[in-house]
Structure formats: C-alpha cells, structure tokens
Amino acid sequence: MPAARRHHIGDFTASFAPLIHLIESPGVLGYDEVQLYTSSEDGDRVLRTTLSFDTAATSSNRIHIESEVYHQQIIGFGSTFSDASALVVNQLSNAAKQNAIDAYFSPKGAEYTLGRVPMGTTDFSTRQYSYDEVSDDFDLEHFSLADEDLKYKIPLMKAAKEVSNIDISLFGSPWLAPSWMRDFANGRMALKGESNGKYYDTWAKYYVKFVEAYNTQNVDLWGLSVQNEPNAGYGRLANLPNFTMAYTPQLQRDFIKFNLGPALQSNNITKDLKLIIMDDQRDFASIWADAIFGDEEANSYSDGIGVQWYSDSAYSTAALGSIHKKHPSKFIIGTEAGFGFNKEIAGCWDRAEQYAYDIISDVNKFVAGWVDMNLFVDSNGGPNQSWT
C-alpha cells in the first residue's frame, strides 16, 4: 500500500492559532451562584461571569425543575478525526498543536466526548486508499491500516485522550470499500454481487478487522456507522472519488441482519459496539428508521440512527421527534456538519451561529450527540479531494 503523499497545506497557524481560546475554570461556586460563559460577535470569547440567584420571596426569576420528565441521555459532542484534521494539526509547532488539542479535549477547553473515525479514505483525504487493495482477498489476509491511521489519526486520538478527563466515544464510519469490492453501474456506486453474497460477507468482516486493528493500537471504539451518506451513492455524486456507496433502506436492513450484525456479534471485541444506521440527511430519516428498526432481526443489531446537517435548512426537525416517538429505545446522533470545501474565514460569526442553531434545534428534538466533519482544516478548507 503506498504511503500518504505529501500535500500542500494552506496556512493554519497565522490565521487560526491566535483564535484558539482556553476556558477559565469555574472554580468553587456558592450554592446560589452560577457561571455564565459568553462569546459574542463583538469579540468576547468564552468570557466568564459569575451570577447570583435572587433568593428573596419576591423574586420574579424562578427556575422550575420538572424532575419526573425525562428526555434523551446525551452521548456527547465532538468532531471527526479526519485525514485533513490530522495532517493540518501536525503542521503546527509543538506548543500550538498542544494548545489546539487542549482547546477541544481538555478541562481547559470544550471537553469533546464524541469522535468520528473514517474507515479509510474520505473526501477530506489527499488520496484514495483502502486497507486491502489485493484483488479477491475475500479472507482479508492482506488487511492493514494505512499511514494516515498509524502516523496521523491514531496519534491525534491518543493525544486527545491523554488530556481528557472524560472518556471519548469513538465511532467508525466507512466511505468506500476497496476498489475490487465495488462497482459503478446503473447510476450507483455499490458493492458487487447480490445482497448477502460473498462481497457483502467480506465487507462485514472488514468492519471487524478495522476495529481489531485499532484495538491493537490501544484505541477502542464505542460504535460503528454502517455507511456514510448511503443516499448520495446514487446519481451525480456516486462516481466521484472518495465519496460514498449506495444503499436503499431495504438493502442496508438486509446487510445488517444477514452480514454485519452477525459478524459483529460473533467477535468479542466488536459484540458490544453501538451500530448506527443511515448516517445521511434527515429528510430521509423516518423512512430508514421504519425500514430497519421495524425489522425484528435488523433492529436487534441496531442501536441508533445518524443524521447529517446538509439539508437541515430545507427540512424541519419534525422527523426527528417522530422517530423518537416511534422508536424510543434508539438514539439519534448528528454525525456530520460542515461547510464543504469552502475556504475558512477566521472568526466567522455567521458559521458559529449556524452551528449553534442546528445543535439547539436537534437537541430539542431528542438528538443525543452532534459531530462535525473536521477538527481542523487549513485556510483553504482542506486538504481535500474536491468533488466539484
């Protein structure tokens, strides 16, 4: 397998490193005190203010806690340990790199507790690759992690875990199978062969191999997404490099119950992983939830549904509430958000507001976690493989 090629990375340190702000600890608070952290368009960045409750009986400011009303249990918030993220942060000085990691994961920062881990190549990689490009290796005897994992992503994950006081839940997510396992035909990029055939069996083993390989590197996963953006595997986006593979809800249902679910359950390392279905835009979410959670066998292997944010401005959160009502034992998690390959704008308040609005709207409709696409990108919005 070829090594990761050198890639020009735009300026990060000059534009963005000065904008990293660590959070001042709240310290010991009195029983009637709260601390407010404020960031504003005017320039405040996690500005700490101590406030006191008015305990007088005449106070008009009251907080009523409905202790018997329960909503979702929050899994966490975080980002993706993408190839781009790891390549960019490695360009920083040691001090700046540590500051950036602290700002995301340490008690001095945002304390991210959720991380997405691409299973091989993505659109935010510098090349197309997989973990086994030996044709017809159905037993995956030649499976091996790439330089991107061993030299960049895994060291970044370990650095994050080292500064965190909280467990970071990591979940794997595949974009593409090895080239010999997939084909573009009839307007879609998909696995070769019939459903439940040998390619589907081998693809299920690939997930197990991935988790095992990370386990040998002392990185344990919390979960797996079945497929990044399975709806986008059809049409114009399907034959673009490093994008995705197509599934219908019914095809993914069958893959879970006949191949992936049994493969994960038969292995001691993978049997307790959380399995996330769909991992695509929320306008399709109800259809996917009903198709997979409504099937007894597929449902028994599935734990939650992943939704991405790219169509959120066009579709309401009503579908999320409907999914929770019909399938209350399944979690909903926001698996990807971002601004595509657009150039980064240092201190862009509009983008911060879009993130905040989406997170609040999702959490109000039972979303239990939210992850964006990259921890770090350069000033050009990469490195990436542009698909425009």
Say which of 111, 148, 229, 344 is annotated catalytic: 229
Say which of 24, 66, 296, 336 is annotated catalytic: 336
Pair of tokens at residue 265: 């359950």
Question: Rounded to an integer, what distance in angstroms lies between the CA atom of residue 189 and that of residue 187?
Answer: 7
| Cα distance between the two ends of the chain | 27
Pair of tokens at residue 110: 């945002």
Q: Which phi and psi (to 5°) does residue 177 adopt?
A: -75, 165
Q: Which phi and psi (to 5°) does residue 380 adopt?
A: -95, 5
Containing 286, the helix (H) or strand (E) segment is helix 285-293
162 in active site: no
Pair of tokens at residue 98: 């540590």
Q: Counting beta carbons within 10 angstroms of the beta carbon of residue 3, is it exposed (0 to 12), middle (13 to 18) or buried (19 or more)?
A: exposed
Pair of tokens at residue 181: 């396992």
Q: Which amino acid is residue 65, in one-letter code?
A: I
Helices (H), 43-168: 83-89, 94-105, 147, 154-163
Helices (H), 303-346: 318-326
| CA nearest to 227, candidates 174, 189, 270, 263 | 174
Q: Counting beta carbons within 10 angstroms of the beta carbon of residue 149, is it exposed (0 to 12), middle (13 to 18) or buried (19 or more)?
A: buried
Pair of tokens at residue 270: 């993978």
Q: Which amino acid is residue 87, in one-letter code?
A: L
What string of DSSP letters covers 237-265?
GTTSTT------HHHHHHHIIIIIHHHHH
229 in active site: yes
Output the CA torsion 189→193→196→199 (10° steps).
-80
Pair of tokens at residue 149: 């994992």
If you ran DSSP here, which 8-state letter would residue 151 be given? Answer: I
Pair of tokens at residue 308: 């991405």
| CA nearest to 311, candidates 240, 366, 229 | 229
Catalytically active residues, by annotation: 229, 336
